[in-house]
Amino acid sequence: MKRRFLTRKAKCFPRRNALYVSLFTVMVAFPVWSEAQQTADASGYRIPPKALVDLVDARLTPLVSVGTSQQWMLLMELPTLPSIDELSQPELRVAGLRINPRSNGRSRSRYFLGLKLKRIEDGSQKAVTGIPAGARIGNVEWAPDGKNIAFTLTQGDRVELWVAEVQTGAARPVLDVRLNAAYGQPLQWLADSQALVCKVVPADRGPTPSKPTVPSSPTIQENLGGKAPARTYQDLLESAHDEALFEYYTTAQVVRVTLKGENHPIGTPAITRTIKPAPNGEMLLVETVHRPYSYLVPVHRFAHRVEVWDLEGKVVHQVADLPLAEDVPIPFGSVPTGPRNFGWRADTPGTLYWVEAQDGGDAGKEASVRDRVYMLPAPFSGKPQAVITLGLRLAGIQWSNEDVALVSESWWQTRRTRTWVVRPGALEAEPKLLFDRSTEDHYNDPGSPLSRRTASGHRVLLTANNGKKIFLTGQGASPEGNRPFLDELDLTSGKVKRLWRSEAPYYERPVKLLDAEAGLLMTSRESVEEPPNYYVQDLKRKRTRRLTNFPHPTPQLRNVQKELITYRRNDGVQLNAALYLPPGYSPMLMWAYPREYKSADAAGQVTDSPHRFVDISPTSSLVFLALDYAVLDRPSMPIIGQGDKEPNDTYVEQLVASAKAAVDQVVQRGVAHPDHIAIGGHSYGAFMVANLLARSDLFAAGIARSGAYNRTLTPFGFQREQRTFWQAPEVYFRMSPFMHAQKINEPILLIHGMADNNSGTFPIQSKRFYHALKGHGATARLVMLPHESHGYRARESVLHMLWEMTEWLEKYLRRKQESARITSARTP
């Protein structure tokens, strides 16, 4: 690669041109700084340079969903960023939920602005009509027969149920009652495709519980000796009034709604977590939450009842009544005691299955048996049958027929995963081991089995040759980068046949095997300069047909060079990163996120592709390519603990070594100067930034967004650390940059959402860290974004964040670099 950075050094100018260099630098070398500086003295939200504004406001590529009949694909139009006015609307935060009290829906859920249908066979397209302007579309669900699409439409204070007919594209409301979308999925199709079960706001709910102006009693919590360790959750219940609001907004009436709009109540109103229709369409598996509630854990750990109902709401069978789960142990892989993970066998009319821990749910205890899977067919009067006993924790089940089901198990501590073939119709037969590997070993990942929808809408394995063959897709990680694939696996012989693989210069991934017998595969194809578009591959005739023509969303970045680079740490661990170089680049921004591994070999594996499209989200570090910054994206920062060693025991040493290797690599390549590199990161990446500035002098500046800096505020574990503060106080202390704030002598920009709901990253983390930095005279700036969560959504917030980052990088990176060039030019 051309060493462009070195050829642009100012030392090539003679001394007599020093004045010219100074004037040229002021007029030309700081165009970005000058543009950004125009708003530096303004009050309120700031606006970054236009080049960044254009990226933030770029039109988004639609999301695509393939219909159950596999004849149509649905194109869902995404909105650009919402306004801060939208995020400022009232929001209720209780029991780990965030609810819009006006609409009785989720306050921060994804929505779509419009829908289009495209026929896969000929590419013809039509819009879904009848949707009111400004309405928000959500919870899109295809009917099992593929003839209709159900979705919610939020307008003002209502969440409504709508259906679009695929043949005509016409959409219409089918229920004149407000849906309750505050908790769980608000709608589910029944097997006949002629009706849905929905959750609605009870007609007699009454007024919102008012907050007492005078408290009637103190809020009291008590523990009588039982252990209840818990990670640091946000938005928990805190008072009796919170409990009343939680019940008010989450209590729903389950109803059966026909396509004609007929409304039939099912059962009585309750806090309904899930509703799962049986494949036969005659029963519902319903989970409802009940008291006691918790002030320590969110709603998914509350007491709940699991029952089978008929379509009138009569309880056919009570599966379980489970207590509050506050006492789940801390180690990863720990689960509540008793039955869990309830579902229907997808290949039978009405057979329940679930799993039960055999080790007390404690992953910290030694045990040869961890889980056992059970099933029980209707009418649920017999004894549950044991399907398989597992030495690891259940990871998932894929049903096919009486002769084949795949059961996967995994264990975090060893990163081991196994997949078994079982015969549900002959449980006396020994399970057959299909895969046994490390979850970290991406190079030898066999892929994931494909599935298909049955006539009832449930998913079963996609098979061929009378169920003897299955199909696998995966990323196809390799030393040259990811190359997604489609394989055929013979379950009898274990032989694998490769049917298709992505080829350079494209990154292409399977989306849907449309017809296994005919060899028709839908893929998504992209390259560095071409955005993802959809194609149909005829594998037998070796033909390709293009389905979509989505335009380049950011054509101004077409000339960015992308390279997947590899290099080594001082202990021999191989690392990799994506290097982006815009024309005329100068300083460099590195953006990273540490990850834990048990294997050094696995940590060095390449899990990206040099052919992926330069896709830029508004909050991505890649936006700075538009301002001519070089970007080293996701340089490996592995924290390895092989064998019985814990990764975090040497976190600092490994982190600094990885960062030094990245810096050395870009300097050696001539694409960056060691004095003009900034380090940035979000969440655990922000924690990384603070640690690198405290423990090294590798970077000129740092940007840390939404991080946690004092690990004593997350005493029952954080990230992948399973030990508590009391078990490993020296690790918590050493890893906390708050404890080493006096060592930070580089400028650091802290940004945090004031409504952060991520576990452990309370906004106070950034506030207290800033106070520590200021107390020691560090150069630091704290920016708290109103109403923003762990990720930032409002257009004003994102633009202001980019303005802050631009100012920081220009001031402490680019101006510093240009000043060095001027000094170099003046030196004989």
State both tokens at 701: 């500046």
- Can 683 be counted among the known catalytic residues? yes
> How many other C-beta atoms are found inside a 10 Å radius of the C-beta of residue 11?
12
Among candidate residues 264, 290, 442, 790, the one labeled active-site is 790
Among candidate residues 146, 45, 54, the one with its CA nearest the CA of residue 453: 146
Yes or no: say if 630 and 579 are a contact pair by the CB < 8 Å rule. yes
Please indicate whether residue 790 is annotated as part of the active site. yes
Going by C-beta distance under 8 Å and a sequence separation of 6 or more, which residues neighbour residue 42? none
- Cα–Cα distance for residue pair 305/126, rounded to 1 Å: 45
Catalytic residue among 242, 359, 633, 756: 756
Give the strand pairing for 595-597 and 638-640.
parallel
CA dihedral angle for residue 815, residue 820, residue 822, residue 828, rounded to 10 degrees: 180
Helix (H, G, I), strand (E, B) or coil at 242: helix
Compute the distance between CA of residue 537 and CA of residue 546 in angstroms, rounded to an integer.
9
* Contact predicate 790/2, CB 8 Å: no
Structure tokens at 757: 């709901």
Q: With contact defined as beta carbons under 8 Å apart, do 144 and 68 qualify?
A: yes
In which element (H, E) is residue 19 found?
helix 18-24
| DSSP H or E run through 265 | strand 263-277
CA R_g for the chain: 28
Report residue 662: phi and psi, to 5°.
-65, -45
Tokens 């709940």 — which residue? 304
Q: Where are the beta strands (DSSP E) in 424-532?
A: 432-438, 448-449, 451-453, 459-461, 463-464, 469-474, 485-490, 496-501, 507-515, 520-526
Residue 317 and residue 226 in contact, taking contact as beta carbons nearer than 8 Å: no
Closest CA to 185 of 215, 214, 150: 150
Catalytic annotation, pick one of 683, 696, 736, 789:
683
Could you list the active site residues? Answer: 683, 756, 790
